[in-house]
């Protein structure tokens, strides 16, 4: 979805650094790997933010890495909660087909539901502004565009 929005509107995208990391280092992760993923993501975000785009799409961030820490290891290091937060989080519901691509985890419905609940709990814990996104990909795009439009109007 991020790539589609980039192509359609030219909004820059900070890719999911964890995917890049796992492609290089493998998916047998330790907590130190999650901390490295958070650092790498924040470096990429800072670089993209230097251009001061009107909309910057971050595929994920350290707060979602914290949800991964909870899911994988049952704990969340404080460091993952101290990074700057996004202006708006869009939490995608696990209601579209899961695609195995070599770096994705938790393809079973119960696992996807559990992770979605952990991600929502992490957003609530951090006290950030967030909206659920669900339905078909077309429905999701409409919801995202409405959310971005509303966010832009309230920040202007």
In this predicted model, which residue has the larger pLDDT, 102 or 27?
27
155: confidence class by pLDDT, cuts 50, 70, 90:
confident
Q: What percent of the chain has pLDDT over 70?
A: 94
105: confidence class by pLDDT, cuts 50, 70, 90:
low
pLDDT recorded at residue 151? 86
- Do 100 and 79 contact (CB within 8 A), yes or no? no
CA atoms in the 13 A half-sphere facing the CB of 9: 18
Q: State the DSSP H helix or E strand holding residue 58, giving kind and residue range, or none if neither.
A: strand 57-58
- The Cα-based distances of 36 to 16, 53, 79, 112 in angstroms read 13, 26, 11, 24
Q: What is the distance between the alpha carbons of residues 37 and 90, in angstroms, rounded to a whole number?
A: 20
pLDDT recorded at residue 128? 96
Q: State the DSSP H helix or E strand holding residue 127, giving kind and residue range, or none if neither.
A: none
Q: How many residues in total does the chain contain?
A: 156
Domains assigned to the chain = 2-155 (3.40.50.300)
- The verdict on pTM exceeding 0.85 is yes
Q: Which tens digit of pLDDT belongs to each residue from 29-47?
A: 999 999 999 999 999 999 9
- Do 123 and 63 contact (CB within 8 A), yes or no? yes
Taking phi first (over 0 means left), then psi (-120 to 50 degrees means alpha), and beta for anything else, what does residue 97 get?
A: beta
Q: Which tens digit of pLDDT belongs to each residue from 46-74?
A: 999 999 999 999 999 999 999 999 999 99
Q: What is the distance between the alpha carbons of residues 70 and 59, in angstroms, rounded to a whole number?
A: 19
């Amino acid at each position: 979805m991020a790539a589609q929005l980039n192509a359609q509107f030219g909004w820059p995208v900070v890719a999911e650094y964890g995917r890049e990391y796992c492609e290089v280092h493998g998916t047998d992760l330790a907590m130190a790997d999650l901390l490295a993923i958070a650092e790498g993501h924040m470096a990429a975000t800072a670089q993209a933010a230097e251009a001061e785009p009107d909309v910057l799409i971050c595929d994920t961030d350290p707060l979602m890495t914290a949800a991964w820490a909870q899911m994988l290891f049952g704990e969340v290091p404080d460091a993952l909660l101290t990074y700057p937060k996004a202006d708006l989080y869009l939490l995608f519901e696990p209601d579209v087909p899961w695609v195995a691509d070599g770096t994705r985890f938790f393809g079973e419905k119960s696992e996807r539901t559990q992770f979605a609940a952990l991600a929502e709990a992490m957003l609530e814990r951090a006290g950030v502004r967030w909206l659920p996104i669900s339905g078909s990909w077309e429905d999701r795009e409409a919801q995202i565009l409405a959310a971005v439009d509303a966010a832009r109007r309230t920040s202007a």
